[in-house]
Amino acid sequence: MLLKGKSAIVTGAGSGIGRAVALAYAREGARVIVSDIAEDAGKETVRLVKEKASGTDAVFVRADASSPTDHAALAQAAVDRFGALHIACNNAGIGGELNFVAAMSVEGWRKVIDVNLSGVFYAMQAQIPRMLQAGGGAIVNMASILGQVGTKGSAGYVAAKHGVLGLTQTAALEVAEQGIRVNAVGPGYIDTPLLDSLSPKVKAALIELHPIGRLGRPEEVADLVVWLSSDQAGFVTGAYYPVDGGYLAR
| Average pLDDT of span 146-168 | 97
Sequence-ordered list of residues with C-beta below 8 angstroms from that of 43, at least 6 positions apart, any chain:
60
Q: What is the pLDDT of residues 79-88, one digit of tens each?
A: 999 999 999 9
pLDDT at 55: 79
pLDDT at 84: 98
Q: Which among 138, 24, 19, 11 has a CA at the least distance from the CA of 74? A: 11
Predicted structure pTM score? 0.96
| Average pLDDT of span 53-71 | 94
pLDDT at 53: 86
Q: What is the pLDDT of residues 195-225, one digit of tens each?
A: 877 889 999 999 999 999 999 999 999 999 9
Phi, psi of 47 (to 5 degrees): -60, -45
Q: Is 126 helix (H, G, I), strand (E, B) or coil?
A: helix
Contact 35, 26 (CB under 8 A): no
What is the rounded distance in angstroms from the CA atom of residue 67 to the CA atom of residue 207? 35
Active site residues: 157
Domains, the chain, ordered by start: 7-249 (3.40.50.720)
| Average pLDDT of span 148-169 | 97
